[in-house]
Amino acid sequence: MKTVFSPRHRGHANQLELMAGAIVPGFELPSRAEFIHDRILEVGLGDIVAPKDFDLSIAERVQAKDFLDFLPTVYPRWKELGREGTALAYTWPTRGLRGDVVPECLDGALGHYSFDAGCGFVEGTWDAIKSSHDVALTAAELVKEGAGSAYALCRPPGHHAGSNFMGGYCYINNAAVAAEYFRVNGAKRVSILDVDYHHGNGTQEIFYSRSDVQVINIHGDPNQEYPYFLGYKEETGAGEGEGFNINYPLRWGTDWAGWSQALKDGIQKLEAFGPDVVIVSLGVDTFEKDPISQFKLKTEDYPKIGALIKAIGKPTLFVQEGGYAVADIGVNAVGVLTGFEGA
Ligand code: OKS
Ligand code: ZN
């Protein structure tokens, strides 16, 4: 399978985030993508190609134009204020405050367009975001043109980003943009299977009222785990979308036995939906040694995930999401892909 990768992700570096009472170096490191890239070469998965340049017209169908227009302005505005380091929100419009105003002040606008302090901006952040979007669409195009599968080595990731907000290291929702791309280009139904450790709240929110994109999420129970405020079992879709959103919240400590049971159940529901194409939001932060996660999957489990997805027998686009045990992330992410290839 071909991989789409851009070195432009590297400019998104040294950003800080707020975590457990401290401003800390971001866990979402450039080395994540580099370890995966190097592992692809090591196992000879297939060619690694550069992304084409796409405009944001597909993205604007799933995320608000004012939000997308805001993203490239953040760091220039931060510098105009005489600031350096990481541009980060610190005030958010929760219950009892105005969710409908975008304050003139950059700090207020950053709060308006985000739900946490996990989305810092540095000089190269917008260029990395745009390259990640282009990586996803270039890989989607390969699948549309008949490749049975492709791998979008996206960084930054996307699944926490919603129709008009960022959060959890995610700005543009790469998987959602790819799903919309397939719909615009003839697919009747698309399934997004999100196997990242964290609930893909952004993807759920974007497609919640739609019956043409099925969203299946397997993740840490939000009662215990980030993003806390979405991802519960009873969230099954709204209106036309009722029944097309499926959540599998699993408790801390879940291992392959429990996790694979959810995957198999999810795959049954996916097959019943009958999509023309499958998008896998591929996080490998389910790994037992992941520094911010609490599942217990082992390196040997990742090829089994790939094999189960292969057995669905549909054109498949893999989109990289999370995974932070950087020394292992390459082996585990590429393990899913080689398992899919039957290697
Ligand atoms: C706030 C962010 C904390 C956890 C973000 C989880 C990102 C992830 N500082 N999503 O799949 O891996
Ligand atoms: Zn994650």
pLDDT digits (tens, 9 = 90+) for 23-67: 999 999 999 999 999 999 999 999 999 999 999 999 999 999 999
Instruction: Determine contact, residues 59/68, Cβ cutoff 8 Å.
Output: yes
pLDDT score of 332 more than 90: yes
Mean pLDDT, residues 296-302 taken together: 98
* CA-wise closest residue to 201 among 239, 179, 169, 178: 169
- Average pLDDT of the chain is 98
Instruction: Give the domain CATH number at 96.
Output: 3.40.800.20
Note the pLDDT of residue 327: 87
- Give residue 168 CA to ligand 1 midpoint distance, Å: 4
Note the pLDDT of residue 184: 98
27-38 pLDDT tens trace: 999 999 999 999
CA atoms of 190 and 217, how far apart (whole Å): 14
CA atoms of 153 and 218, how far apart (whole Å): 21
Shortest-distance atom of ligand 1 to CA 322: 12
Mean pLDDT, residues 275-290 taken together: 98
Note the pLDDT of residue 67: 99
Query: Which listed ligand is nearest to 226 at the C-alpha?
Result: 1
Query: Distance of CA 24 to CAs 16, 121, 196, 290, 329, Å?
Result: 5, 14, 22, 17, 21
Domain holding 267, by residue range, is 2-342
Q: Structurally, how many domains does the chain consist of? A: 1
The verdict on the CB of residue 322 being under 6 Å from ligand 1 is: yes
Please say if 160 is a catalytic residue. yes
CA atoms of 335 and 333, how far apart (whole Å): 5
The verdict on the CB of residue 290 being under 6 Å from ligand 1 is: no
Task: Give, using CA atoms, the residue closest to atom 5 of ligand 1.
Answer: 168
CA atoms of 118 and 312, how far apart (whole Å): 34
90-124 pLDDT tens trace: 999 999 999 999 999 999 999 999 999 999 999 99
**Residue 191 in 3-state DSSP?**
strand
Note the pLDDT of residue 343: 76
Mean pLDDT, residues 127-152 taken together: 99
Shortest-distance atom of ligand 1 to CA 168: 5
Mean pLDDT, residues 209-218 taken together: 99
Note the pLDDT of residue 50: 98
Long-range Cβ contacts of 208-212 (<8 Å, 24+ apart): 208/235, 208/237, 208/238, 208/241, 208/245, 209/237, 209/238, 209/239, 209/240, 209/241, 210/240, 210/241, 210/244, 211/237, 211/240, 211/241, 211/243, 211/244, 212/183, 212/188
Task: Give, using CA atoms, the residue closest to atom 8 of ligand 1.
Answer: 322
Mean pLDDT, residues 137-164 taken together: 99
The verdict on the CB of residue 194 being under 6 Å from ligand 1 is: no
* CA-wise closest residue to 254 among 301, 211, 212: 301
